[in-house]
Structure formats: C-alpha cells, structure tokens
Structure 1
Amino acid sequence: MNDAKSIAPVVFIIFNRPDLTESVFREIAKARPGKLFIVADGPRADRANEAEKCAETRKVVETITWDCEVFRNYSDANLGCRKRISSGLDWVFSQTDRAIIIEDDCLPDPSFFPYCTELLGKYENDDRVGSINGSNFTHGRVEVEDSYYFSRYPLIWGWATWRRVWKNYDVSIKHWGILRENNWLNTVANPSEFEHWIKAFNRVYDGGLDAWGYQFTFSQWLQRQISIQPKGNLISNLGFRADATHTSGSNNVADLPRQALEFPLRHPQVPALNFLADDIYMREHCYRKKKEKGLKRIWGKVFPK
C-alpha cells in the first residue's frame, strides 16, 4: 500500500530545526509519496544564527531518494506562522486537489500516510467532512470499534484535507466581526468553551495572534463540517522544547506514543459524532468550566446518532 502511486501528495512544512526535520523526513521517505510539496519560512532578522539553521534545515530535504515530483516554496524573508503556512497551503492547493500535511516537529506513525490516503479518497465528495486528523488526545479513554470516528475538532499535528475545503479558508476570518454579534457560536460550540473560542477568534480577527489553525477551525464550523479522528494516536509532537515558536514548556499531549492502525480499515456504518471523545477534548483543551448540555442538540441534526 505504500508505493508512490498509492500515497496522496504530501506537504512538508519546515523552518529552522534540522534535527526534527530529519526525523520526520525519514518517515515521509518511507511512505514514498509520488508528489512532495515543501514549504519553508525564512529566517528572522533579529535572531542570531537563524539564517544558518534555516539553510541547514533546507539541506535535509535536498536529496529525494525515491521516484517523486518535488515542488518547493521557500521564503527568503520570515513571514511568520500565520502568513507562511496559509500562503504555503494556498500555493499547494492551486496545484493539487488533496494533500496530507505535516510539520517538521510532528513525527507520524507509518500507518498515518495510507490512512489519510484511503480516507481522502473515500470522503472526497462528502461535503460534511472537512479534514482528517492524525492526532488523538483521549489517551485511550474512549473505546472505538472502528478504525476512526467523527469529531467537531480539526487537529493539525499531521492532517489531510481537500481543495474543496481549503477554498473556504480565510486567514483573516473576516466574517467573525458579524458572527460574534449574532450568537453564531451557539450553533456550533458548547457554552463551556465560548470563552476560549471568543478569545482566540478575537485575537485572530484583530491581527494580534500569529497563528493559522484557529482560522481552520472557524472555517470548518462555518461550513458545518466535521473531522475524522483515528481510534489511536498517530502523531508524536516532538517540538515541545526551548527553540519552539508556539510549543514551549510541558504539555500532556507532547511526545505522545504512536499507535499503528491496522488495515484494512474498518469504516463506521453511521457518520455520527463521538460526543464522549469531543467532551474530553473540550474539557482538557478548551477551558471547560462546568458540565453543559445541548451539544447533541446542536450537532445531532447534521450527524444523527
């Protein structure tokens, strides 16, 4: 299943950490995708030796040892996380209709690539599905019989999506200015997480947050789309260390063990959200304060149990 023709195009996003880049690139090389898009940001002018680190990182991906079309999008100047990743993915999806996306600190299990590839094909024309996650943050507390389930939350440490989804992405979330005034959040989120998302969306909207991922969550929710999540965690984020831009310090989802998926995949018979798994994510990552009811009412009409 891992020949160059079978694996969907892969996007590799790199910056200034050659050691992590080498570890992740080794796994990409094992998957042997037929198309590889490499997106790199440039060095920050005020950081000593960063130009050398960026050059060393790019050197890691110079040699491709398998039959592969390679596309490179390197910035000379530093664009920052928000502009570099969003513009890089704009470039990617101008050339392909689907892609597996992975950053330099997200170490994938080998089963991640065929899992994404198969589901990119299966849900290609299903507008209810917005993305395919590689991460699972439930720490084994949710039993799942199938190979994956459905979630409200897109997780971007190794993920996949389609051009049909990315075309709706707006890095500035211009519609938030109106939607935050008319209770739109009530239709897509639980009251327990309002504070978290309002703060995040406000900072993005006001331009004060160098991030791109909150905008993707906003885009999926605006389109009433959900994500696919594997039954076990497929990604280990190795980037929680002092030289990280956003993931410094300790975290209970850092360096998670990877759990290989078995093939053939077992597909859910009904596209129903896993409310237990989403409840765990909400409580532990969206600053939940008290138990709230109503989540099934909000989303149940879209994906009934």
Structure 2
Amino acid sequence: MLLPAPIVLFAYKRPDEFRRTIVALQANYLADQSELYVFIDGPKHPIDLPKVEQVRALAKEITGFRIIHLHISQTNIGCADSIINGVSQVLRQHASVVVVEDDILTTPNFLDFINQGLVKFATHPKVFSVGGYTFPFSQPANYQNDVYFYGRTCAWGIWADRWFKTDWQVSDFSAFIANPVQRKAFNYYGSDRVRMLRRTVQNEIDAWDIRLCYEQFKRKQLTAYPIISKVENIGFYSVDSVNTNIYNRYKTVPDQEFKREFTLPEQVTEHAQYTRQFQYQCSLGVRFLID
C-alpha cells in the first residue's frame, strides 16, 4: 500500500492554536498511517520563551501518527525561513509533503484529499500545488469534480520537483518590477500579489508563500483547490499571529460531509465561474472594504 505523504507541521508560540491544530490532525482518517515532522522555531525575544516552551511541551506529547520527528530550534529562524528550510529538509527524503501551520483546523478527510491530489497530479505539467482551502464559492450547475483550478498558490500539498525549482531569493525581481506587463499579469490572480512580493523582497513582511506564487506564475501553472474547504484558519484572531489581522476575510465553511474518495479530472483547465469568484475575493475593492 502506498503510504501517505509526510506531514510537515510548523509551530512557534501559539500553544492554544497548536493544540487545536494537533487534535484536528489526529482526527484525520489517515493520521495513523502518516509520518509527522514538527518544526518549532525558537523565541525571538525573552518574553516569547514561556509560550514557546508550552508549544515544545505539547509537541513532545503528540501521539496518533505512524512516526513523529521533532525539530526544536533553540534560536529564532523566522517564519519564512523556518518553513522553507523545514520543507526542503523533508523533501530531500520524500517526493511530496503536506504542509500545515500551527493555526489550521483540518477536516477528517483533509489528508485524504491532499494525498489523492498529490498522486493524481504528480506528473501533470499544468499543476503546481494542491490546496486544502477555498472560499465558500457557489458551485456551477452540473459541476462534477471535487476540485477547481486557479493560478494562485495554495501549497498544502506540493512536490519536491516544484519546490526545489523555486527561486527563493527572487533574483529577477528588479526586472519584473520594472515591467508593467509582467506586473499586470501577476496581479491577474489577485490584485494584492505585486504588493506582497515587493514587501517580501524588501523585508517588510516575513512571507514564504508569495514567492511560491511568483514561481508558479513564471511556470504558468495552476493549483488544484477543493470545491469545499478542508481547512479553517484560526490564527487571524490570535495576538501572536505574524502576518494576519483581527478580521478574517478568508473565513470559510469547512467540509461537513467527510467523504474520502474524490473526483479529480484528467483535464486541467480553469472554470470561468470559479475564476471570476476568486478574482473578486482578491480584488482591490474587496480588500479595501474589509482589510
């Protein structure tokens, strides 16, 4: 039997959210068959140490997975570098991974969905990653698939070959930012993307996923999204969150059916109705009204 892709879980100083994340992962149907890697960043300031130690203590008590590996940093690496380094470390040993941060509640069929996507699209030239989240979009009439495709990275599931081709330094940023045609094209899948990439390159935010978005953009690939979300982000309401605020514009309705077999298409193309809905959610008007 093919084993599920390993789970790579990242944590820092949110013990309450981390505990809930672990409990939800343990409730997944594939948890006891899955290998779990836990990376815990070290405290940035002395005041952070008590919460970091609480997270470390919780991590040492984790059960319910096939194998558990703990990686506890004594120094602060930072959110983006911790994730980039941790995922890279695991992908040197495995062909694909499931990435989860410490503020994500997963549905019991989350691992089923991500793993089936990782198997189905492993060699597909048009698919860059497999997402676990979606906005609560209306479904097109007679839509038969359990996924839709969109050109914005949502890397809950990703393969080593895509990951290791990513230019984390964004070495061509100067040429990109000077090109209005490229900037417009990048913002096709969200009017926030050029700004996020610029702020990341200029070290204004500690983000890793926008760099994956940029790599996916250059490769002209798509992400497979579930039509019903398999995750819920609880970190928007935490005082210890890094890149979020108190209002969660990504609030969604998690899957309540928990089915375990999914219809994944052979043909990878965008559906106009999903694309329009996603573009609207990432539009300047929506972000201006609620951010």
TM-score past 0.5 threshold: yes
Q: Distance in 1 between matches of 2:111 and 2:258?
A: 11
CA-atom RMSD in angstroms: 2.3
Where 1:36 maps in the other structure, the secondary structure is strand
Q: Distance in 2 between matches of 1:187 and 1:57?
A: 41
Q: 1:275 aligns with which of 272, 279, 291?
A: 272
Q: Distance in 2 between matches of 1:277 and 1:213?
A: 21
- The Cα shift of 1:100 comes to 0.7
Summarize deviations over 1:40-98 as a string: whole Å, max 9, x none: 1111215x2x2111111122121343462333332212222222212222222122110
**Bigger mean CA offset, 210-219 vs 273-282:** 273-282
Q: Distance in 1 between matches of 2:270 and 2:278?
A: 13
Cross-structure match for 1:114: 112
The amino acid of 2:41's aligned partner reads: D
Where 1:251 maps in the other structure, the secondary structure is coil
Task: Please tell me whether the aligned partners of residues 174 and 205 of structure 1 are also in contact (alpha carbons under 8 angstroms).
Answer: no
Where 2:71 maps in the other structure, the secondary structure is strand
- The Cα shift of 1:135 comes to 0.5
After superposition, the Cα gap between the structure-2 partners of 1:255 and 1:197, relative to the gap in structure 1 and judged at 3 Å, is closer
After superposition, the Cα gap between the structure-2 partners of 1:199 and 1:67, relative to the gap in structure 1 and judged at 3 Å, is closer
Q: Distance in 2 between matches of 1:43 and 1:260?
A: 39
Q: How many residues align?
A: 279
Matched, 1:225 2:194: no
Matched, 1:37 2:45: no
The amino acid of 2:145's aligned partner reads: D
Q: Which runs of 5+ in 1 are unaligned?
A: 290-305
Q: 1:55 aligns with which of 45, 53, 71?
A: 53
Q: Distance in 2 between matches of 1:12 and 1:247?
A: 19
- The Cα shift of 1:152 comes to 1.0
Summarize deviations over 1:184-218 as a string: whole Å, max 9, x none: 3455543x955x32222222222222111111101
Cross-structure match for 1:197: 193
Q: Which runs of 5+ in 2 are unaligned?
A: 287-291
Task: Please tell me whether the aligned partners of residues 238 and 255 of structure 1 are also in contact (alpha carbons under 8 angstroms).
Answer: no
Identity %: 21
Matched, 1:72 2:70: yes
Cross-structure match for 1:9: 6
Matched, 1:247 2:247: no
Q: Distance in 1 between matches of 2:252 and 2:222?
A: 26
TM-score w.r.t. length of structure 2: 0.87
Q: 1:91 aligns with which of 89, 95, 110?
A: 89
- The Cα shift of 1:108 comes to 0.5
